[in-house]
Amino acid sequence: MKEGFRQAMAWLHTWTGLLFGWLLFAIFLTGTLSYFKDEITHWSQPEVQRHQLDPAASLGLAKRYLQSNAATAGSWFIRLPSDREPALSVSWRDPNATGRRGFISHELDARSGERVEVRDSRGGDFFYRFHFQLQMPHPWGRWLATFCALIMLLGLVTGIITHKKIFKEFFTFRPGKGQRSWLDGHNAIGVLVLPFHLMISYSSLLLFMYMVMPASIMAAYKGDSDSYFSELFGRDDAPKAAGVAAPLTDLPALYAKVQTIVPGARIGYLQIANPGDSNAQVTVTQAAADHVAYQRSANWTFDGVSGALLSQGEPESAAMMTSFTIAGLHMGNFAGPWLRWLYFVFGVAGTAVIGTGLVMWLGKRQLKHAKSGRLPFELRLVEVLNIASMSGLLLGVAGFFWANRLLPVGMQGRADWEINVFFLAWALSPLHALLRPGRKAWGEQLALGALAFAGLPLLNALVTGHGLDQSIARGDWAMAGFDLTALGTGLFLAWAAGKMLRTPNVQAKRAPRAAKAASTTAEVN
């Protein structure tokens, strides 16, 4: 009975893993990149210079810029620079435009307060959006991504049940033994980083809970889901403009006030309603980096003329705090440098669990055909899809960054073309994989990926003058870290490509190695 159950779970693990593995790999990889969303955006818009943070001074500069460029706007929005993203960003709604259009956003230099003409690029936001919207029309991408999260959770649970020796082999990894090593690796990264994997897939379901399980919300809010969101995120109703001119209060002074309420608080952004009117109001929101939970209550609303504190965000209920904490853990906004790197490493681990699973599915079935040397159609299809979903995606990511540096800065629809290059490179990968034998296709694409990633720091140095020598000298670690990570990725891909290309005759190598693996497995057991 028990073995039957385990076999059923193994079957489920194998087949859901195969069907959704390709998409999950892409979701995990782009999601992992999103942990460095701000840093990637900084790299994508190198025109913005990094300066020592000085929030009070930045606020003064932002106010000056907005007063001379958006004096008639009904509301302003200021996002302060952070350790991760150096731009001081100001935005407002063009009073003469209606609807979504007319929302204007400028990036300012945090020291001079002058506008910086940045290249048109989605930067890290592209990967972030892709990892849960999959570049599909709303809401289909979110549905599919959420369903994938459910499959991931299912894969983890069925994987644990299938894994017979979870405790006995907890510390076990035996490299250089073919399929045995792949399975060891798959199990070890799955089990050792399990808390992360579980947190990520469970929280993904929770993040889109309103979509997946709307019944309770609909019942409690009598079908009015908008009021659910305004209660959840405290969308405050700004007062109407009085039509009487009054000077806007001193923003640096408000910053100082917040510092007396919460010493050491970092400020994320400010919303200013009716600037220059006697009914002006300023809401200061603490940076998400200050809390583990993704909470919205850490904000203070001031009178925009006198500067008096009007209200403070209501603390969340315990239930809300729980779900905000889970959401906050997923996004990792609070993570400082070393924890952010660990988040990235664990994200790579999650991606690797999926990747090794896909490779093993095929590897096991390939063995039967090792003698004839010809794969049946369905296995060949899986092989091509494996290559396209893994090395192809990496080529797409590299393509995006190359496009970012090579497309002319003044080009129309530039940001869209970066994305087009991403998808073009990705789409070429299965074509190449169809034309070449499996191992060659892997090796060649990984080698191209190695060149593309390792070449990024060089390209960056050549075309922007923000190369490693410059960025390290300036202490711009977001820029330098990107280049170094690209270099590291390139070296890793070169190593992998070398492994693939060094043994050109798969059939001759595979069979004895498989036999050896089988005998060593027998010894170990």
Nearest-5° Cα angle at 106, 101 to 111: 165
Work out how close the CB of 171 gets to other proteins at its nearest, in angstroms, rounded to a whole number. Answer: 5
Work out how close the CB of 340 gets to other proteins at its nearest, in angstroms, rounded to a whole number. Answer: 10
Separation of alpha carbons 31 and 476, rounded Å: 24
**In the complex with other proteins, which residue's Cβ is closer, 45 or 485?**
485
* Angle between helical axes of 140-162 and 124-133 (0-180°, round to 10): 70
**In the complex with other proteins, which residue's Cβ is closer, 354 or 419?**
354
- Please report the beta strands in 307-402, taking only residues with DSSP state E, as ranges in sequence order: 309-312
Binding site for other proteins (CB under 8 A): 171-175, 188-189, 192-193, 195-196, 291-293, 325, 329, 334, 338-339, 342-343, 345-346, 349
Work out how close the CB of 195 gets to other proteins at its nearest, in angstroms, rounded to a whole number. Answer: 6
CA distances from 32 to 54, 110, 150, 390, 446 (A): 30, 28, 18, 14, 19
**Phi, psi dihedral angles at 175 (to 5 degrees):** -80, 165
**In the complex with other proteins, which residue's Cβ is closer, 171 or 233?**
171
**In the complex with other proteins, which residue's Cβ is closer, 159 or 457?**
159
Q: Which of 503, 401, 389, 418 lies closest to 454 in space, CA to CA?
A: 401
**In the complex with other proteins, which residue's Cβ is closer, 283 or 295?**
295
Work out how close the CB of 289 gets to other proteins at its nearest, in angstroms, rounded to a whole number. Answer: 11
Query: What b-and-e string marks burial along 37-68, b requiring 16 or more CB atoms within 10 Å of the CB?
Result: bbbbbbbbbbebebbeeebbbbbbbbbebbee
Residues linked to residue 267 through DSSP beta bridges, in sequence order: 286
**In the complex with other proteins, which residue's Cβ is closer, 346 or 417?**
346
Work out how close the CB of 176 gets to other proteins at its nearest, in angstroms, rounded to a whole number. Answer: 8
CA distances from 265 to 45, 55, 290, 335, 445 (A): 27, 11, 7, 15, 47
Query: Whose structure tokens read 């020796």?
Result: 165
Separation of alpha carbons 261 and 184, rounded Å: 52
**In the complex with other proteins, which residue's Cβ is closer, 101 or 168?**
168
**In the complex with other proteins, which residue's Cβ is closer, 192 or 309?**
192
Query: Whose structure tokens read 């504190």?
Result: 309
Work out how close the CB of 187 gets to other proteins at its nearest, in angstroms, rounded to a whole number. Answer: 10
Work out how close the CB of 334 gets to other proteins at its nearest, in angstroms, rounded to a whole number. Answer: 7
CA distances from 36 to 78, 124, 126, 353 (A): 22, 7, 12, 21
Separation of alpha carbons 188 and 167, rounded Å: 11
**In the complex with other proteins, which residue's Cβ is closer, 195 or 263?**
195
Element (H, E) at 91: strand 88-93
Work out how close the CB of 295 gets to other proteins at its nearest, in angstroms, rounded to a whole number. Answer: 11
CA 493 to chain centre: 21
Separation of alpha carbons 229 and 219, rounded Å: 14
Task: Strand 267-273: give its sheet, edge to edge.
Answer: 103-108, 88-93, 75-79, 267-273, 281-286, 299-303, 309-312
The amino acid at residue 490 is G
Work out how close the CB of 167 gets to other proteins at its nearest, in angstroms, rounded to a whole number. Answer: 9
The amino acid at residue 513 is R
Residues in the chain: 525
**In the complex with other proteins, which residue's Cβ is closer, 152 or 193?**
193
Element (H, E) at 123: none
In this structure, what token pair is assigned to residue 464? Answer: 């922007």
Say which residues have a Cβ less than 8 Å from residue 411's Cβ, sequence separation at least 6: 120, 417
**In the complex with other proteins, which residue's Cβ is closer, 278 or 297?**
297
**In the complex with other proteins, which residue's Cβ is closer, 4 or 175?**
175
